[in-house]
Amino acid sequence: MANKALLVGINDYAPVGPGGPDLRGCVNDVRDMAHTFNALGIVAAAPAAMRILTDERATRAAILEGFEWLLNGAARGDVLIFHYSGHGSQVVDVSGDEPDGRDETICPHDFATAGMITDDDFRVRLKGLAPGFNLDIFLDSCHSGTGTREMAALGAATDEPTVVYRYIEPPVDWGYFIEANPSLPLRPLLKPDAEETPGELGTRETVAVRRMNHVLWAGCRHNQTSAEASIGGSFRGAFTYYYCQALRRAGVSITRRRLDSLVSADLAKNGYSQVPQLEGNTTALGQKVFT
């Protein structure tokens, strides 16, 4: 039985140094998750068990190679974790294989030249995996650019923004078609077959999906933004921070459903409008975390 994690956090987007659409809290998110997993005995802080990709090392090729490393040899009882903190975006399904016509994406360090990572990129790697392993995927990124500003209580008024949203406008060759077709539905990055869940995804905090072979923890609903802000003296993703805090308080005996409700309550209590989304099959949602 193997416990493995791939943790990705991108503050510095290409070009290296000032000039890209940079963030400030994503590398701290990786540290928070790594410390939490190690402290609770979920994944050991050792190179053979935990891979970390940050900033210029988190290229499109490196993330996809790391995801293949994570899944390679997956067997019943394995605990596998993928965590991404960085920008998200949307693209029209240019390949024409998606009935809903739009995909949410994550943005690697070199997305401007190498491209974003889409649903199809993950799907081909998840398809056909043996049953019985445990894969939890965490996305602390924005799914759209329509979120509202957080409560003023999050920070004093300064010349520097205290809350930043993890969203990048799609390139015009794909983004234009979204603007021209605003009725295209929002769907999650790692969506199951559309016919299984008509109208469900993105409408509730916890969504049971019958044939889903992984658990998805999204930092916000599919029409919201994920915030990063100064929390505890450092910039962090709000979802990742409160997830780690709630998990450390509760321990690994808590169920996924219960943990999701605690994280949602902490975000709301601290003034964040985003609502985390937990998706998976009914059995996985009712089980203890990472089982």
What would the mean pLDDT of 265-275 be, rounded to a whole number?
Answer: 93
Q: Which CATH code, of 1.20.120.550, 3.40.50.1460, 3.30.1490.20, 3.40.710.10, is assigned to 3-286?
A: 3.40.50.1460
Residue 253 is predicted with a pLDDT of: 97
Q: How many residues does the chain have?
A: 291
Decide if pLDDT at 20 tops 70: yes
User: In sequence order, which residues have a C-beta less than 8 Å from that of residue 62 and are 6 or more positions away?
Assistant: 53, 108
Mean pLDDT over all residues of the chain?
81
Active-site amino acid positions: 87, 142
pLDDT tens readout for residues 42-73:
999 999 999 999 999 999 999 999 999 999 99
**Residue range 107-164, pLDDT digits in tens:** 999 999 999 998 788 888 888 777 788 999 999 998 643 332 233 334 433 444 455 6
Nearest to 38 by CA among 50, 29, 54: 50
| Statement: residue 237 has pLDDT above 60 | yes
Q: Which residue has the tokens 């450390």?
A: 248
Q: Give the mean model confidence (pLDDT) for residues 24-32.
A: 96
- The pLDDT of residue 108: 96
**What is the separation of C-alpha 254 from the centre of its chain, rounded to a whole number of angstroms?**
21
